[in-house]
Structure 1
Amino acid sequence: MWRDNWVTFVLLVLLGLLQYRLWFGKNSVPDYLALKQEVQQQSQQNDNLAQRNNLLKADISDLKIGLESIEERARNELGLIKQGETFYRILPAEN
């Protein structure tokens, strides 16, 4: 009789230790959920960076291929105009 109770007690203690380790120990369920969220954030950041890289690759390819993109950049970023063109600046009306 005592032997049956002893085995049950030992098994319950082992079950308790395993449950403690599952919920509060190293690599527990909360750690897993935190890492899962961190991986999701990193994946989102990687997707954003990949999209940015694709846009930069497209810009590089445009710059290598044609002069039109170089001219567009010079006009927009540097404010340059072609020879013989007239520059008009339209200002908003003052109140």
Structure 2
Amino acid sequence: MKWVTLVLILALIGLQYDLWFGHGSWHDMIRLEESVIQQNANNEALVQRNRALTAEVKDLAEGKDAINEMARAKLGYIQNGEVFYRFTPPATVPTATGVTQSATVADR
């Protein structure tokens, strides 16, 4: 009788092993749930990016303002009749004594 009980206990342990430690166990389920949450967050970020790109494509298709803005920012586009002004920081000029002084446009 004792050996039958022992065999049944070993069979129960063998059948429960996969539930607790094998493929598809509780640990795998928790890990998969965490990866699903992370993937949903990534998907939401991609959806937001796609919405922004769709709005930009629509704006490019409908008007020239966006094209002008992109050309100005990326290519330095200047329209006819506009004047381009470039502001630069004052340059430093070394002197004979080794002390640097700020040079102005009149000094040059």
**Structure 2 spans left out of the alignment, 5+ residues:** 93-108
Alignment of 1:78 onto 2:75: yes
Structure 1: 4+ residue segments shifted above 3 A: 5-9, 12-15, 92-95
TM-score, normalised by the number of residues in structure 2: 0.71
Aligned length: 92
* RMSD across aligned positions (CA): 2.2
Residue identity opposite 1:92 in structure 2 = P
More helix per residue: 1
1:39-88 Cα deviation digits (max 9, x unpaired): 11111111111111000000000001111111111111111111111111
- Equivalent residue number for residue 86 of structure 2: 89
**Structure 1 spans left out of the alignment, 5+ residues:** none
Residue number among 46, 51, 62 corresponding to 2:48 in the alignment: 51
Determine which structure has more spread, i.e. the larger CA radius of gyration. 2
